[in-house]
Chain A
Amino acid sequence: MTTTIVLLQQILNALTVGSIYAMIAIGLAMIYGILRVLHIAHAGMYAVGAYLGLLLYVHTRSFALALTGAMVLTGILGGLIERIVYRPMLTRPRIVALIASIGLYICLSDLLRIVAGPHEHAFDVGITATYRLLGLTIAGVDFVILGGTSAIFVLLWLFLQRTRMGFAIRAVAQDPEAARTMGIDVDRTVQLVFFVGSAIAAFGGVMVGILYNAVYPTMGDTVSYKGLALIVIGGFGSLVGSAVAALALGIGETLIMTYTQVPLSREGIAMLMLIILILVRPQGLLGRD
């Protein structure tokens, strides 16, 4: 009985972590789907989002305002990065954008260190309540995270499936040339994807900040590479695939860490799953071709 409760508790924690991974992976998958660029700097967006959220929270004392503000500002930054960094590189060989993206990432996280200092900042929004349900302990923060990420999923799905802009995004992802001939502004659409993806990453960043009550410059490190693992596992460019992969990774990691003696860190386990999957199924879990 107690072991099942321990297991359930672990799975609950894993779901919280997994849904945060999903917030990173979705943006990455959208960007890969539309530009075919591995946007490693995306994890930088996530850290920037967390810092902006904290900054706004300290000044406004309103969590809702801080969250929205961080999402909008990070989204704008993402759009700018697309315009300034990636757009001129698209006609060049693939390695050019990839290297630029790595450079951008280490540059961004160092910038955070320079501006805000290398130490951790506490991000306490005062959600301290815990609930007990069927023997499980659920923190209020877990509720906020699980509810928030589910809401983001639903909103994103509605946006992509039910609005004209979402329709344009899907069209460009399928075939930019054909979309252009249909009168869709491809550049604007790509920029919109960067805006939305970065805003979602900022949401993930703020959530991680309040979950661990800490914001620090290198917080993007582990998720940036895990994010890559996730979009590969999910099938490059597949949103549902990467969300499923994110939850699976959260659960897989936690269970392996708890119940086995594998001599690897959490990152090591994620990366090992990635390597095995690339070798066994290079098109990803739900990838088509």
Chain B
Amino acid sequence: MLGDYSLTIVILMAIWVVVTLGLNIITGYAGQFNLGIGIYMGTGAYTTAMLTTEAGWSFWAALPTALAAAMLMGVITGLPALRVREDFLATLTIGMVFVFESLLIYLPWFGGPVGIAKIPPPRLFDTPVGRYGYLFLALAAALAAVLFARALNRSWLGLAWESIREDELATDVIGIRPPRFKLYAFALGGAYAGLGGVLYAHFIRYITPYDFGFVPSIYILAMAVFGGLGTIRGAVFGAAFLTALPELFRFVQEYRNFIYGSLLVLMMLYQPQGLLGKDSLLWRAVHGRRPRGLAAPAA
């Protein structure tokens, strides 16, 4: 059976898969830069943490509320983001994640820089779920997230997003209003990241504002980009691989930022589609297809 340690890694992998899928919806599907995915993850985590510790709610009651809060945060941050594009959008979201982190630290209600501790584990039939229970929960959430993302991508929503990503003006001209669909992407991506945040909070059981700041947001971006932005397989692989890497190799943990940073640069230089993205070398090799020209990554 799995040891305690590998159990922890697998659970964390599942959690980061959910969050990365959220970023994949906003940036991969709808093509909207977002360097502040930590905002939504943090909103979910803090909502559930406060409801379960201070208000005494159960995990199951707090979960939908936290998802709704993260979704709402997606809409709140999405509204100003509608006014700007590309570099400005990237800068705007960086600004937002700093303000978010700063508010969590300085406003009196969120436990300040030390955050919130003693978050209770979820209970099922009046007993706290054990580590295997949590493993099952996290894997079920990740699976549901994958299936839902797949359904989204194949629905008219997915089509509208792809159309906005490739050519926003043309999309507007054929009568599909980009602002509406961008907001859907922010809301759904936010809910995904919020779900990841809830799972994270109840697993680690101790959260601080720094868990959801700019650098964690960049880790998530690295996961999505490494696997292949705009694809589910890329998000799952990137999140799982980059979560496991520092745990499997001690030196990776020591030099985590250095390795993540170099990976981002090297990927952008030689394989901007990500390892398993559309038209990436590896994916083409697996499928034995010929290159379809120099396709750009989905963004």
Contact A264 B296 (CB under 8 A): no
Near A by CB (< 8 A), chain B positions 74-96 give 80, 83-84, 86-88, 90-92, 94-96
Contacts of A109 in B (CB 8 A): 257
Q: A97-B268, A265-B105, A272-B99 are in contact. Are A111 and B260 (CB under 8 A)?
A: no
Given A96-B272, A106-B257, A114-B255; A268-B296 close (CB under 8 Å): no
Binding site of A, secondary structure by majority: helix, strand, loop or mixed? helix
Task: State which residues 224-283 of B face A: CB under 8 Å.
Answer: 225, 255-258, 260-265, 268-269, 272
* A279: Cβ under 8 A from any B Cβ: yes
Residues of chain A from 88 to 140 with CB closer than 8 A to chain B in the complex: 88-89, 92-100, 102-111, 114
Chain A interface residue count, CB cutoff 8 Å, equals 42
A152 within 8 Å of B by Cβ? no
A225 at the interface (CB under 8 A from B): yes
A78 CA / B243 CA spacing, docked (Å): 32
Contact across chains for A267 and B102 when beta carbons are under 8 A apart: yes
- Which listed residue (B27, B101, B261) contacts A108, Cβ 8 A? B261
B33 closest partner in A (C-beta): A95
**Nearest residue in A to B264 (C-beta to C-beta)?**
A103
If A96-B268, A103-B222 touch, whether A110 touches B255 (CB-CB below 8 Å) is: yes
For B137, the chain A residues whose CB sits under 8 A away are none
Contacts of B111 in A (CB 8 A): none
Residue of B nearest to A277 (CB): B95
Give the number of residues in B that approach A within 8 Å (Cβ atoms).
Answer: 46
Task: Judge if B215 is at the interface, Cβ distance under 8 Å.
Answer: yes
A85 lies within 8 A of B107 (CB): no
CA distance A264 to B96 in the complex (A): 12
Taking CB atoms, residues of chain A closer than 8 Å to B95 are 225, 229, 271-272, 274-275, 278
Given contact pairs A103-B261, A106-B218, A107-B265, A92 touches B106 in the complex (Cβ within 8 A): no
By the criterion CB–CB under 8 Å, are B80 and A275 in contact? yes
CB within 8 A of B261: which of A104, A236, A264, A275? A104
Q: Which residue of B lies closest to A265 (CB)?
A: B102
CB-based contact A279/B83 at 8 Å: yes
Q: Is the pair A111, B258 in contact by a Cβ cutoff of 8 Å?
A: yes
Pick from B108, B222, B265, B296: contact of A92, CB below 8 A.
B296
A102 and B84 contact, CB distance less than 8 A: no
- Residue among B27, B80, B256, B269 with max Cβ neighbours from chain A (10 Å): B269
In the complex, chain B residues 139-190 whose Cβ is within 8 Å of any chain A Cβ? none
Say if the beta carbon of A228 comes within 8 Å of chain B.
yes
* Complex contact A271–B98 (CB within 8 A): yes
Our pick among A36, A100, A228 for the contact of B91 (Cβ within 8 Å) is: A228
Instruction: Tell me, in angstroms, the Cα distance from A271 to B36 when the chains sit together.
Output: 13
Is B103 at the interface (CB under 8 A from chain A)? Answer: yes
Bound complex: CA of A103 vs CA of B91, how far in Å? 16
Give chain B nearest CB distance to A38 CB in angstroms.
Answer: 5
**B210 CB, nearest partner CB in chain A, Å:** 12
A98 and B90 within 8 A (CB): yes
State whether A88 and B269 are in contact (beta carbons under 8 Å apart), knowing that A102-B221, A279-B80 are contacts in the complex: yes
Q: Say whether A232 faces chain B, with CB atoms less than 8 Å apart.
A: yes
Cβ of B87 and Cβ of A38 under 8 Å apart?
yes
Write the chain B residue with the least CB distance to A279. Answer: B80
> Do residues A103 and B262 form an inter-chain contact, with CB atoms below 8 A?
yes
Q: Provided the pairs A95-B297, A103-B260, A109-B257 are in contact, do residues A275 and B107 lie with their beta carbons within 8 angstroms?
A: no
Interface presence of B51 (CB below 8 A): no
Report which residue of A38, A110, A228, A279 has the largest number of chain B beta carbons within 10 angstroms of its beta carbon: A110
CB of B299 closer than 8 Å to a CB of A = yes
CA distance A201 to B141 in the complex (A): 46
In the assembled complex, the CB of B165 is this many whole angstroms from the nearest CB of chain A, namely 10
Closest chain-A Cβ to B191's Cβ sits at a distance in Å of: 23
A232 to B99, CA, bound (A): 16
Using a CB–CB distance below 8 Å, which chain B residues touch chain A? 27, 33, 35, 80, 83-84, 86-88, 90-92, 94-96, 98-99, 101-103, 105-108, 214-215, 218, 221-222, 225, 255-258, 260-265, 268-269, 272, 296-297, 299
Starting from the known contacts A99-B225, A278-B80, 13 additional A-B residue pairs (CB-CB under 8 Å) come to A93-B272, A100-B265, A100-B268, A102-B221, A106-B218, A106-B258, A110-B256, A263-B106, A264-B102, A268-B106, A271-B95, A275-B96, A282-B88
Q: Which residues of A contact B (CB under 8 A)?
A: 36, 38, 85, 88-89, 92-100, 102-111, 114, 225, 228-229, 232, 236, 263-265, 267-268, 271-272, 274-275, 278-279, 282
The 10 A-B residue pairs with the shortest CB-CB distance in the complex, in nearest-first order: A103-B264, A107-B261, A268-B102, A110-B257, A100-B268, A263-B106, A110-B258, A106-B261, A271-B95, A271-B98
